[in-house]
Amino acid sequence: MTLCTGRMLSGTQPFAHELGLDAPLGCVDGSHLADALTGRALHFAALERTAISQLFEVLIAHEASAFAFSDELMFHDEGGHRYLDYVRSWSRRTHLVPDLSVNHSWQDGRAIPAVLALGSEESVREAERVLAKDASHCLQAVCFESLCDFDARGRRPWALLVRAAGIDKGTAVAWMAAHYGISLDEIVALGDWVNDIPMLRRVGLSFAMAQAPEIVQDAADAVLRADDESGGALLEAAERAGLL
């Protein structure tokens, strides 16, 4: 058993240790695979440095606050301070730098698998349109309403998550299958959100949790009775897959 998540390694490894996992972890939606015990990087799909610079230019022009994910730390400048409670769901290890866009010394040789931006729906959607039109083919961007607190106008900020093109949880489980010398048909997956869809569609048997959106349920082979409130989803999936 292992975890394949949108969280960074530093936000995933504590759960892996609690579960006693000794397997590759799929982090940042498949952009970073690492050893659960040691944290050693096994595979990285990092953003190119030129793409990061281009991305920051677009985000600044559209007044969106940016966060850069590395293997351990999440970097941000003063503009991202108000969103820290929300972004710490990816990782508790955040680091303030003077300006993400002006001086890239904060990278210090680190691979950057993703950049997250937060702002108004209008600014984030426009940034997404510009990236889709002008950015190089090496980027992929996903736009969604965040779970941040509502602002003074009763609106939630929107988020834009940018990763390397062609990478997702489906590519992560394919890497894991190759790592263990098994076929994808031998893998059972459980998910509950839209970033799980590539994984659910690729494995031999997939389950969606009961509270998952309809589009996620449609991508899975079966829908569980268990949800995030009742608990027991992993046990139910294992029993229905014949693993117990």
pLDDT at 65 (0 to 100) = 94
* String of DSSP letters for 74-109: EEE-GGGGGGHHHHTTT-S-EEE-S-TTT-GGGTTT
Query: pLDDT band for position 160 (50/70/90)?
Result: very high
Position 193 pLDDT exceeds 70: yes
Q: What is the pLDDT of residues 221-242, one digit of tens each?
A: 999 999 999 999 999 999 999 9
Position 215 pLDDT exceeds 80: yes
pLDDT at 134 (0 to 100) = 65
Percentage, residues of the chain above pLDDT 90 = 73
Position 136 pLDDT exceeds 70: no
Average pLDDT over residues 159-186: 96
Query: pLDDT band for position 116 (50/70/90)?
Result: very high
Position 150 pLDDT exceeds 70: no
CA-to-CA dists, residue 6 to 11, 44, 129, 164, angstroms: 9, 14, 23, 14
pLDDT at 132 (0 to 100) = 84
Query: Three-state SS for 228?
Result: coil
* pTM listed for this prediction: 0.87
117 touches 59 (CB < 8 A): yes
pLDDT at 151 (0 to 100) = 66
Q: What is the pLDDT of residues 72-93, one digit of tens each?
A: 899 999 999 989 999 998 888 9
- Looking at every residue in the chain, the average pLDDT score rounds to 92
Query: pLDDT band for position 133 (50/70/90)?
Result: confident
DSSP state of 149: P
Query: pLDDT band for position 110 (50/70/90)?
Result: confident
Percentage, residues of the chain above pLDDT 70 = 96
pLDDT at 169 (0 to 100) = 97
* String of DSSP letters for 11-23: HHHHHHHHHT--S
pLDDT at 35 (0 to 100) = 96
